[in-house]
Amino acid sequence: MFNAILWYMAFLISVTIHEFMHGFVSYKFGDTAAYDAGLVTLNPYPHIRREFFGMVVVPFLSLSLAGWMIGWGSSPYTVEWAFRNPKKSSLMALAGPLSNLALAIISAFIIRVFVLTGLFSVPYAVAPGSVVEAGSSGALSGLAGFLSILFSLNVLLFVFNIIPLPPMDGSNLPMLFMDEKRAVGYMIAIRKPVFFLIGLFIAWQVLKVVFVPVHLGLVNFLYMGIARYG
């Protein structure tokens, strides 16, 4: 039960900030759809209310079946605004996964500080829920578990969402390098439902292959190459 609470706390923080950044950047660039819907907020409740299935049901179901949480939120935007501003739309989309990268870096920094102070230590074998461990039980042990999950979950969310296939946020990355006419044509093409289904299937297969080596590589960078998976 305690482990589920740690996972869900990390999940709520990660997905709420991800969706907040989508809405915040679009608002700053002139689209008020997310703001008008009350989603430019760090309060998770409006995000849960909008996507209850993706933010409550699926996370706990995936934890019970796979031992880790996955799910989703959503942030509305005005389609007409996106077509008028393809580069701004691209930056809005990329703001979500970049926020997950930032959270992974922040949690890694905190882990490193606690390791250097001797309060945390490198575990014998690394796993998504045990990137670091505390020398004692209690609050420090809970913090070590939470930071481990926060780091791992945000690495996963970044890697998955940055894959340049629809419907992932990374599919918007190529528009930064296109002129406006080509970017609009590209946006029209990737919005076709068939590409959503194909892209999601391929991205999931890619994630299963790349997550473990990417996660372990980042942990080894954090610990100067001494960590290994159990």
Based on its alpha-carbon atoms, the radius of gyration of the chain, rounded to whole angstroms, reads 19
Burial (Cβ within 10 Å: 0-12, 13-18, ≥19) of residue 30: exposed
State the average pLDDT for the chain: 92
pLDDT at 116 exceeding the cut of 90:
no
Question: Please, where are the H alpha helices in the chain?
Answer: 2-28, 33-36, 44-50, 52, 58-66, 79-84, 86-117, 139-162, 180-190, 193-222
Cβ pair 58, 70 in contact under 8 A: yes
Comparison of pLDDT for 194 and 16, the residue scoring more? 16
The number of C-alpha atoms within 13 Å of 152 and in the hemisphere containing its C-beta is: 23
Q: How far apart are CA 188 and CA 201, in angstroms?
A: 20
DSSP conformational letter for 122: -
pLDDT at position 225 is 55
User: Tokens at residue 179, please?
Assistant: 């002129």
Q: How far apart are CA 166 and CA 186, in angstroms?
A: 11
At 44-99, the pLDDT tens digits run 999 999 999 999 999 999 999 988 899 999 999 999 999 999 999 999 999 999 99
CA dist 173 to 91, 143, 176, 177, Å?
Answer: 8, 35, 6, 8
3-class DSSP assignment, residue 71: coil
Contacts of 73 (CB under 8 A, 6+ apart): 15, 16, 18, 19, 47, 50, 51, 54, 55
At 132-165, the pLDDT tens digits run 998 777 889 999 999 999 999 999 999 999 999 9
Q: How far apart are CA 90 and CA 1, in angstroms?
A: 39
Q: What is the mean pLDDT of residues 91-116?
A: 95
- pLDDT tier, 125 (very low <50, low <70, confident <90, very high otherwise): confident
